[in-house]
Each structure stands twice: as structure tokens, then as C-alpha cells.
Amino acid sequence: MAANSSTGAIRSLSGIVQAEPRPGMVELGPGYLDRALLPGGLIRRWAAAAVDYWGAGALAYGADAGPLELRAYLAARVSGGEPGVCGPANVLTTGGTSQALDQLAVRLCRDGRVLLTEALTYDLGREIFAARGVQTIAVPGPVDDLDIGQFRYHAALAARRTGQAPAFYLIPTFHNPTGRVIPAERRREILELAHEAGAMIIEDLAYAELGYDPAPPPPPLWRLTPDPDLVISLYSCAKSVAPGLRIGWLVSGERLAAELAADPVRLSGGGPNHFTAMAVAAGCVTGELDGHVRMVREELRRRRDTLVTALVLPDGFTMRRPAGGYFAWIELPGNVEDQSLLAEAERRGTSFAPGRRFGGSARGARVCFAACGPEELSRGAARLSAACRSAAAPS
């Protein structure tokens, strides 16, 4: 492993970063990337290269849709180089997935549209929509799939109540919190339903670049739909490069991408985080960005395997080996509550994210393997295994 971290003394991070690990605690709850994998040296080179390549243009107000050279590179990257699939007019840079969700939430609220989500979903994503006044409905369904019948029922109900077609917020690839992947046939069914209902799909692909098994996941929804304006797919540099860059991108039809690029915030200030976008563009030009993402993917594969091997769970607890992303999902037996298990785990020096954060009926624990090195993961897994045994023991 060779992360390109900065050298020299590091000042105190108190008040600088969102959260610091608690002393003595193996933190398996937050969905962060291990600081050892953050490319400090690469970012320094890319920032300097951006000024060298584009001069004052790297420091000006950026193009409303984001830098053309970066959008062209990202379009080729997500289409696998296949001609005619995606071009720069289909791509919009964003200030990360959260900023993109916020922009879309404003749009949905303006139009009076209801948002339908999976039964379990990214909790803060749901809160972004709710904070903007969007009515959000968690559609009942299994942990590892979508119930198309329930989505059809709730889509029709929302349309009758509001007079507007709803939107769907989905995480089909390396789901947060469960890590599951929706199969291709189910993806086609949800696209058919969206087309019938006139619904817009917001496809969160924050973890899509982080697949660890030889077989790739099914194509994203934007690759499967005949109507490119039906789907808005969100990608992010936060999970595979560094969250502090606050750079991501979306893919959609040319018409819808142009409408989003004409948002008044962009017209006022240009594309978000322009200098950072130019630094990332420099990393694309040099080829170092792809090399770094490959390194992160290999490191996280090793950590996934470490966690899966080290977790020895008692009867009644089940865990699927995730094919990608940051998270493993542990389903709990009926006699174990997530909050009581969390208290026992923290007493032993480790943590996780309780399942009910992501859906009221969830019975599970989300375990992140991205934030810790292999040795620390092994310690945390041993402590969590012991906590599960203790929680399952007859009182």
C-alpha cells in the first residue's frame, strides 16, 4: 500500500474534520475512507499541474456545467470508451453527492413531487430531501431487493394525491447500508415502471467504482434506459479519492443536464468547486487518478476479506459477503436489538451503525470496513463477534 499522504508535522484536527475516532475505539460505524489511503501527495501535484496547464482559468469562475475537459474524460470513463453512449453534454460536475441531492430536492419540492425510496436507504440522503420539504415515503420491501408491486402501488397513490408523478431515489449498486446489488432484470422492471408512471429516477452510484469481485455488477440504470432524461445518476470522488475534494458528477440526458446546469446558483458562481475540479482534471490528464482508484479498490478488497474472515458470528446472525462498496450488513436474530448490541460492542471497544437509522423496520447492523487498516479491522471484528455472542446469550 502506498497512499500519497502529506509529510511533515500535522496540526491538530480538532474543529477541522467532521469526526475523530474515539481513543481506544475501533470505529466500524462511520462511512469514512482510511486516512492512510487519502492521496495528499497526488492532490498537491494535481493542484500545481492545474495552474500550470490552465493558468488563471483554474482560478476563475468555472463553466456552469463544470470544466469541459473533465466532463469529457468522465463521460468516456463511465461509458467504458464505447462511442455514442455518453458525452460531455450528458455530464455535470457537482459539489459531491450531497450537493447534487440538495439541488434535486429543491427541484422536487418546487414541482410538488413525492419521493419514493427503498425500505432501507441512506439515511442522510433521505434527510436532505425531507429538509427541503419533499415528502419521502419508504416503500416496503425485502432487505436485499425491491418490491415492484409496492413501488407501483405507492407511485399511483402519490400521483393521485399530488397530481404529479413521483421520483424514485435508489441505490442499486453496492447499497448503503446493506451492500447488496440489484440484479439486471429488477433494474429493467423499475425502469419500465418509471416510464409508465412518468417518474424520474435518482440513481445514487457513490460506491459504483468500488467493486471487488471478478464479475462486474449489472449496468447502471442510465445505461439501460431508452430515455436518458428518465434517470439522473450520481457519482462521487468522495469514496474512491477523498471526501474533502467535494467533487462528484451526474449523468443524464442532454436536455435535463442542460436544465440543471442553468440553476441560478451555477449561473451566479459557475460550476461548484472549480479549482478542485481542475485539479481532478489534471489527475485525469496524467493518468494518476485511475491508478489511485485501482489502488484503493485493491486495498478495500483486502479489508473486506479481512472483515469477513475475522467476524465469527453466533447462530441467528447472518452476513452476506459484499461484492463492493464500504459496508457489510449483519442481520440480527429476533431476540437481539441493534441498540443493545451497539452498547455491548462499544463497551468492548468497537462500534457499528444500527440498522434502524436506515429504515424503521430494519433489524441489522451496518459495519464499515473502509476506515480501518487490516490489523485494526481484525481487532474490531473480534470485539464485535464477542458482543454478538454476549447479546445472543440467554439472560
Per-residue pLDDT at 1: 44
5 pLDDT band (50/70/90 cuts)? very low
Amino acid identity of 372?
C
Q: Is the pLDDT of residue 318 over 50?
A: yes
Per-residue pLDDT at 186: 97
Q: pTM for this one?
A: 0.94
Domains, the chain, in order of start with CATH, read 44-287 (3.40.640.10), 290-392 (3.90.1150.10)
Cα angle, residue 377 at apex, residues 373 and 383 outer, rounded to 5°: 155
Could you read off the pLDDT of 156-191 as tens digits, one per residue? Answer: 999 999 999 999 999 999 999 999 999 999 999 999
Average pLDDT score over the chain? 94
**Can you point out the beta strands (E) in the chain?**
91-94, 115-117, 136-138, 167-170, 200-204, 231-236, 248-251, 318-319, 327-331, 353-354, 364-368
Per-residue pLDDT at 347: 98
Preceding peptide of 177 cis, ω within 30°: yes
Measured CA to CA, the distance from residue 141 to residue 119 in angstroms comes to: 6
